Amino acid sequence: MKKEAAKVITVFSCKGGVGKTTTTLNLAGIYSLMDKKVLIMDLDLNSGGVAVSLNVDVSKTIYNVVDDMGNNRFDDIENYVCKYNDKIDVLSSPKDPRNAMKIDSKYIGLVITSAMYKYDVILIDTSHNLSPISLTALDKSDNTLFMVTNDPVDLKNAKSMISIFKDTENDNYKVVFNSSKDTGKDYFSLFDVKNIIKHNIDYTIDKSFYIKDIDKYVIDGDILTLNKKIRISKKSDVMKLTKLANALIEPKPKKIEVKKDA
């Protein structure tokens, strides 16, 4: 059993279709190349696409975990995950969307805790809805990737969400501007985006990381960052994503309290 707790990273946004799932999978690929054991937890409970994107066979889902926890049948999180490869496991969203309504948010923290000492990194893909499920994931995370795109509706909602982060004194988040999504939308410059959301952009996924035939990789169940062809052709972009991946798991510097003279 691992002695150190996993780093918990939640990928969140205020709008669907901004690249949360793709980014989650790409980070999983990078961490696996770093010899980290990774759990991808799909908390987009109504329409999660992690298991589908990876072509993994799902027998049990997070619904089964929560149901067994509620009925004192839960044993080990490893009995509920499905394997993508030797380093990456998946805890899938419910097969039946109706079961999503039966998952009480109070169990989400317990699910995360049950995996803390089994993995090096826990990556949580979420819905764009600010639900009790998502709020619990954000609260339990060491870091949150808050993704925004060059979309007017997305940016307006992002501004409101960042205000919530500030009001709740949540500073464990990094804003990622994904310009590889919807590359035809060039409404705002990076400077404009910063002014709209009233926050700096911590990382940018460049347009150059746009994959024209990305559906082919989804059909094949490939993670882009594990594909040798992609790693060569998009070397610069993969290196930037690797830099982000490293930053997300780096130990945070301890705050030094300065004692005031009496």
Q: Return the axis-axis angle of helices 20-33 and 235-249, rounded to nearest 10°.
A: 80
* Beta pairing partners, 41: 91, 124
Instruction: Please state the rounded mean pLDDT for residues 162-190.
Output: 84
256 belongs to a structural domain: no
Q: Does the pLDDT at position 205 exceed 70?
A: yes
Q: What is the CATH number of the domain that holds 224?
A: 3.40.50.300
Q: What is the pLDDT of residue 256?
A: 52
258 belongs to a structural domain: no
- Model pLDDT for residues 87-101, shown as the tens digit of each residue: 999 999 998 889 999
242 belongs to a structural domain: yes
| Residue 212: burial class (beta carbons within 10 Å; 0-12, 13-18, 19+) | exposed
262 belongs to a structural domain: no
193 belongs to a structural domain: yes
**Overall number of domains in the chain:** 1
Q: What is the pLDDT of residue 91?
A: 97
What sign results for the dihedral spanned by CA atoms 151, 213, 205, 131?
positive
260 belongs to a structural domain: no
d(CA 247, CA 34): 13
2 belongs to a structural domain: no
State pTM to two decimals: 0.92
Structural domain including 68 reads 7-249
257 belongs to a structural domain: no
Share of the chain above pLDDT 70, in %: 93
